[in-house]
Amino acid sequence: MITAGIDIGSVTTKVVIIEKLNSKNYKILSQAISPTGCEPKKSAEETLKNALSKIGLSIKDLRYVISTGYGRRTIEFGNETITEITCCAKGTFWLCNNFGIKAKTIIDLGGQDTKIISLDDEGNVVDFVMNDKCAAGTGRFLEVMSNVIGINLDDFGTYYTNAKEPVKINSTCTVFAESEVISLIAQGKQKEDIIKGICDSIAERILNMLKQIEEKDVIFFCGGGAKNEGIKRALEEKLKKEIYTPQEPQFVVALGAAIIGTERYQNL
């Protein structure tokens, strides 16, 4: 049985295609990602087509398609829409069981919002908080800062580690923070110190959100922002605990959608 999950985010669209092997196991057959742009429907169609072409399949080979994320209601070929919080929980729970990790708290750092999700022993969502009123502390915030400093986001971890006199970013707004960083550069502050200040600022925002729910066991870090090693290190330093990040954290929500698709098809 082959199903697909499509996560149409505000910045990127992700597709995961899976095959059910037995009662508990799934095989990830294909993944694809592309910018969402101003036409989420078109992006979803093209990303799904790309994922299918990698394994020589067509949409007719899919038993069920679940769409989730910011633009989940824009497509017409899906069987059902599910919120990204539910899909994130499902994807996280399966990955954790697969790798023997007991994570019940999720930090999902997306392009335009940040979510903190708390799970029970069965992987059900018991509580969540979400910051979606401002881009500060999100993937979009990181992109803006990266462009201002002229450093690739993939290199933030190295710069974070090399900081000697980290600066404090005081602004809580992306626009004002951008101006603040430009001012710091003009003052001759080192890029390493500015990047550590940026990462620490985002980590503080996430910590304030974590305080609103009961933090449990291991923390699972996903979403496109989880690829940033600087943010992960900042969080680990402040929480004084290790955070688990999957190899491809941007696909967790789409994976969860695909798994839910299998469950829905079985119940038809």
Which CATH number goes with the domain that contains 48? Answer: 3.30.420.40
Q: How confident is the model at residue 94 (pLDDT cuts 50, 70, 90)?
A: very high
Counting other chains too, the contacts that 18-25 makes at CB distance below 8 Å and 24 or more residues apart are 18/255, 18/258, 18/259, 18/262, 20/262, 24/97
Mean pLDDT of all residues in 117-123: 94
Mean pLDDT of all residues in 167-181: 83
106 contacts 116 by C-beta, under 8 angstroms:
yes
Specify the higher pLDDT residue, 172 or 29: 29
Total tally of structural domains belonging to the chain: 1
Q: Residue 87 has what pLDDT?
A: 98
Cβ contacts of 129 within 8 Å, gap of 6 or more: 115, 116, 209, 212, 213
Establish if 23 belongs to a structural domain: yes
Establish if 169 belongs to a structural domain: no
For 161, the token pair is 């580690």
Q: Residue 176 has what pLDDT?
A: 82
pLDDT tens-digit series, residues 214-247 = 777 789 999 998 999 999 999 999 998 889 999 9
164 contacts 201 by C-beta, under 8 angstroms:
no
Domain that residue 12 falls in: 2-88+251-266
Q: How many CB atoms lie within 10 A of CB 178?
A: 16
Q: How many CB atoms lie within 10 A of CB 2?
A: 21
pLDDT at 134 over 70: no
pLDDT tens-digit series, residues 53-63 = 999 999 999 99
Specify the higher pLDDT residue, 169 or 93: 93
Establish if 258 belongs to a structural domain: yes
Task: Give the chain's mean pLDDT.
Answer: 91
Q: Residue 63 has what pLDDT?
A: 96
Cβ contacts of 188 within 8 Å, gap of 6 or more: none
Establish if 49 belongs to a structural domain: yes
Burial environment of residue 63 by CB neighbours within 10 A (0 to 12, 13 to 18, 19 or more): middle
Mean pLDDT of all residues in 87-105: 94
15 contacts 6 by C-beta, under 8 angstroms:
yes
pLDDT at 10 over 80: yes
Establish if 207 belongs to a structural domain: no
Tokens 């394994």, residue located: 55
Q: Residue 83 has what pLDDT?
A: 96
